[in-house]
Homo-oligomer: A and B are copies of this chain.
Amino acid sequence: MGCKNCCSICLQCLFGYETNVMLVINNKGVGALFRLIQFLIIAYVAVYVCWIQRAYQDTDSVISSVSTKVKGNILTNTSIEGVHVWDVPEYVIPPQGEKSFFVLTNVIPTPGQTQSKCPEIPSLVTKCESDSDCIEGQTEVHGNGVQTGHCVQYSDTIKTCEVQAWCPLENDTIIPKPALLGAAEHFTVLIKNNIQYPKFNFRKRNLLHHINSTYLKNCTFDRKTDPHCPIFRLGHMVTEAGEDFSVMALKGGIIGIFIDWNCDLDFPERFCIPKYSFSRLDNKNPENNVAPGYNFRFAKYYKNNKSIETRTLIKAFGIRFDVIVFGMAGKFNIVPTIVNLGAALACLSLVTAICDWVMLTCMKDHDQYAKRKFIHLNQNGDSVPLSSMETTSYGTP
């Protein structure tokens, strides 16, 4: 009998189904409250969690590769350089067409610089009366060279400290206005963007499938008429960013080209399309700013007839376009689904707690409910005191 009994207990444990004993109260108030809160929680899960936040999805961040290609030519006619046609290799820096490209819009050239000595550009700290005002070997943070210790004539009336430097020095106090290459707003740029979501093994390009080569050769991006054309007019982008190209061209700036690849991969692949937006990234507020705009200096090096190295220094103002690709893809996954479902279910248990509290405190008959709901058992379980026993002795009239 021993083993047989043992087995039967085990089986009873395994297959004996345990379920809660419930007290059903036909109280319309509490019942309605109960159903209302239940409904609210289920509605929250269905509408907000599932529909709006898509919390049943696993997510992945975008990985991206970008190449860019600018097109356009500009003719300028200046007193220094004469007639000059600027083409892409001259005004796009660096020329490789990476995801951050710079388009020259304004230029201060300083041709014929050689390593030699010349007077500094006049400023509060460089003006001098005699050699004793200049310190040999000193370099000013905003200066252009290393002081030789001499005080020399800069012009008929002004004396400044002499520096060893690439001379003649650049004088960038006067910025050409209007911008030399202000016509750059008519240039176009082709942006090729290839993205992938490695977790979902999903790849796509911004040259969408339904677009053919003929269309691509002639289109320009327009939010309404050509929202999928990957060719952008520079002026259009700057305007969409809320800026005036001719003003921005003077001192330069940074424009962000945002490509948003947020995708719901539970839908077919063709619904996953990039959204373009543009905004200015640098600070144009002059209040808390230093070195406003965007500029840098570079040089072209030559050797003159006597084999001495000379260079043309170019202070380049222009617009840097940063292509910034971002996005999250979501796809149904059982883990976040279970997590959100489970959490919502757990919250349903809160409903019972709230309704119990209402029932046991606010209701007229709360004593009756409590008597039925709670079965009291004292510490010395075998002898139940009469008073508490009575409250639980329902079923005996």
A338-352 toward B: CB 8 Å interface, digit per residue (1/0)? Answer: 111111111101101
Q: Does A139 contact B (CB under 8 A)?
A: yes
Task: Choose one: B17, B25, B55, B379; the contact of A34 (CB below 8 Å).
Answer: B17
Q: Of B290, B389, B394, which is within 8 A of A217 by CB?
A: B290
CA distance A254 to B32 in the complex (A): 64
Binds B, one of A124-132, A150-158, A237-245, A301-309: A301-309
Contact string, A358-397, partner B, CB cutoff 8 A, digits 1/0?
0100000100110011111111111010000100111111
With a cutoff of 8 Å between Cβ atoms, the chain B residues found around residue A163 in the complex are 85
A-side binding surface: helix, strand, loop or mixed? mixed
Q: Which residue of B lies closest to A376 (CB)?
A: B24
Tally A residues with Cβ within 8 Å of B.
Answer: 150
Please give the count of copies of this chain that the complex contains: 3
A223 within 8 A of B: no
Stretch at the interface among A173-181, A186-194, A266-274: A186-194
Inter-subunit contact A194/B282 (CB<8 Å): yes
Q: Which of A79-127 contact B (CB under 8 A)?
A: 82-85, 87-90, 93-98, 100, 102, 115
A104 → chain B, closest Cβ, in Å?
A: 11
User: How does the 8 Å CB contact mask read for A11-41 relative to B, with 1 for contact and 0 for none?
Assistant: 0101111111111111110111011000000
A256 neighbours in B (Cβ, 8 Å): 65
Inter-chain contact B14/A289, CB cutoff 8 Å: no
Q: Does A10 contact B (CB under 8 A)?
A: no
Q: Which of A45-75 contact B (CB under 8 A)?
A: 48-49, 53, 55, 61, 63, 65, 67, 69, 71-75
A227 contacts chain B at the CB level, 8 A cutoff:
no
Q: Which residues of B are found within 8 Å of A397, using beta-carbon distances?
A: 389
Choose from B22, B55, B205, B324 the contact partner of A19 (Cβ within 8 Å): B22
Q: Does A78 contact B (CB under 8 A)?
A: no
Interface presence of A142 (CB below 8 A): yes
CB distance from A344 to the nearest CB of B (A): 6
Contact A73 B375 (CB under 8 A): no
> In the complex, what distance in Å separates the CA atom of A373 from the CA atom of B12?
16
Contact B18 A35 (CB under 8 A): no
B286 touches A213 (CB 8 A): yes
Known: A53-B335, A69-B296, A95-B298. 9 other contacts (CB 8 A): A16-B26, A17-B355, A18-B23, A20-B23, A23-B377, A55-B339, A94-B96, A342-B342, A368-B381
In the assembled complex, 8 residue pairs joining A and B whose CB atoms fall closer than 8 Å, in A order, are A15-B27, A16-B31, A23-B375, A27-B379, A49-B338, A192-B282, A213-B288, A216-B290
